[in-house]
Structure 1
């Protein structure tokens, strides 16, 4: 009878140790696709290792401009490509606290490159919106909730280059969307 209890206890310990080895530590997913709603577009995020990803986004940016001289306003739409190298730095802490880390739910720092294409629509009084390139350092967070609803916020300083000017800019972005696929 004692041998049976000993066997049961050893079996229980062995099964727990095997399960503990199979559990993945808090890590980014290898491939993640998202659809954005506020700035309509698509995102692909590729995980290189447990904390680093390449974030690639193609969307439609919307802008607003007001002219005091003409006392008029105008909206413009332009395609935008955004590439970021992200480092998620708090996944382990979130996992230890019992918070979600699934689908890259964590805080990150990133180096970013934005390319803004020429706008689809122009208004003669405001001139053309020519292509520009922006380099930025960002801090942000991403949360993916049950139902795969995704919220992302990032902001940081950047430098914008176009054919007329080079200027310091503040980058800020709020994204709402859904993670698609597995």
Structure 2
């Protein structure tokens, strides 16, 4: 009788252990290495995941700017190369997974600390002068979604501080990226 009770007790523990393992949440993590091509503003992105929810995002792109001069009553567009580095923390990957939403290719919401460096403009306007290099640091909130076919949409925005040789000022920072994830 004691053997039967012991066998029944051990069987119940074994079945409970198996059930607990099947109910355990699957660990959702960011992609270790991800490359993207930005089509809206031509550029390349590399995102390196260094733990379950944090990545280092590196982007090289061409930026576009706009100026208006009330003195001349004219406006001017300028194009400049830019580098963007961000430390991202993806905070809702598990929640998206439990709702059966995509988390592939870092599809989730994030907060980030960002540093932008905008180089001197490639084009000039004699009335406005050159667009000089600047450095911007910002706190950002954003989201990234990668759909079937690896089409990628990313939006981020937040407050920043811009430094150039003439001025230091608070600026809004925003970006929209349309492109494709390349590789595996």
Q: Does 1:58 align with 2:60?
A: yes
Residue in structure 2 matching 1:163, options 145, 162, 165: 165
Deviations 1:3-37 (A, max 9, x none): xxxxxxx9xx97xx5x888x952110000000001
Give me the TM-score of the superposition, normalised by structure 2. 0.86
- Structure 1 segments, 4+ long, off by >3 Å, are none
Unaligned 5+ residue runs, structure 2?
1-13
**Measured at CA, do residues 103 and 20 of structure 1 come closer, stay the same or move farther in structure 2, by a change above 3 Å?**
farther
Moved more, 118-127 or 80-89: 118-127
Q: How many residues align?
A: 170
Classify the secondary structure of the residue corresponding to 1:103. helix
CA drift at 1:55 = 0.1
Give me the TM-score of the superposition, normalised by structure 1. 0.87
Larger radius of gyration: 2
Residue in structure 2 matching 1:74, options 73, 76, 84: 76
Deviations 1:65-101 (A, max 9, x none): 2222222222110000000000000000000010000
Aligned to 1:40: 42
RMSD, matched Cα: 2.1
Unaligned 5+ residue runs, structure 1?
1-9
